[in-house]
Amino acid sequence: MGNSEATENIEVIRASIDHVDEIVSIENICFTIPWSRQAFINEISKNDFARYFVALCDKKVVGYAGIWIVCEEGHITNIAVHPDYRHKGIASRLMAELIDTARSEGVADLTLEVRRGNADAIKLYEKFGFKVEGIRKGYYPDNGEDALIMWKHF
* Sheet of strand 109-115: strand arrangement: 10-14, 50-57, 60-70, 73-81, 109-115, 147-153, 131-136
Catalytic (active site) residue 113: yes
Marked catalytic residue, from 52, 64, 85, 125: 125
**Phi, psi for 85 (deg, rounded to 5):** -120, 10
Tell me the fold of 3-108.
Aminopeptidase (3.40.630)
Marked catalytic residue, from 113, 139, 140, 145: 113
Residue 34: count other Cβ atoms within 10 Å of its Cβ. Answer: 17
Q: pTM for this one?
A: 0.92
Catalytic (active site) residue 52: no
How distant, in Å, are the alpha carbons of 10, 77, 83, 141 from that of 64? 12, 11, 12, 23
Residue 57: count other Cβ atoms within 10 Å of its Cβ. Answer: 18
Per-residue model confidence as pLDDT tens digits over 57-116: 999 999 999 999 999 999 999 999 999 999 999 999 999 999 999 999 999 999 999 999
Q: What is the pLDDT of residue 3?
A: 44
